[in-house]
Amino acid sequence: MAFVSGAIAEGGVVLVNCFAGQNRSGAVLLAWLMTHTETGMDARGAKAHLRSIEAMSLNNSSLERCALVVAGDPETVAFPRDWLLPLSGRPRRPRCAPKEEEE
C-alpha cells in the first residue's frame, strides 16, 4: 500500500491487478481506500466504489474480511486466529555447515 500512496502523492497512477482482477486486487484497493481518510470512504462506501468499477470485485468474503481487518474497520470482528500460522508448523530453513577454508 505504501507504493500506491507514494505513486499517487507524486501525481502518478497505479494499476493494481491480479489474474482475474476481482478479489486480490479488490482487497488491496479496499484496504487502501479505507486507510486513506482523505477519501472519506468507510467500508461500505469503498466497496460500493470498487463495485461501480468492477461489478464482480470482492466476491470472496474471506479476502474482503482480511482487507477490512488490515484497514482497521471498527465493524469488523477481532483479528481471526485461524489466519495465524503456528511457528512450530513453519518449515525451517536448512542450515549450511560453515565453509571450510582451503590451505
Domains and CATH numbers, the chain: 2-89 (3.90.190.10)
HSE value, Cβ hemisphere, 13 Å, CA-based, for 39: 19
Is residue 54 helix, strand or coil? coil
**Are the C-beta atoms of residues 46 and 33 closer than 8 Å to each other?**
yes
Q: pLDDT higher for 49 or 2?
A: 49
- CB count within 10 Å of CB 32 equals 21
Q: pTM for the complete prediction?
A: 0.58
- 46-86 pLDDT per residue, tens: 888 888 988 888 888 877 777 777 767 666 655 555 555 55
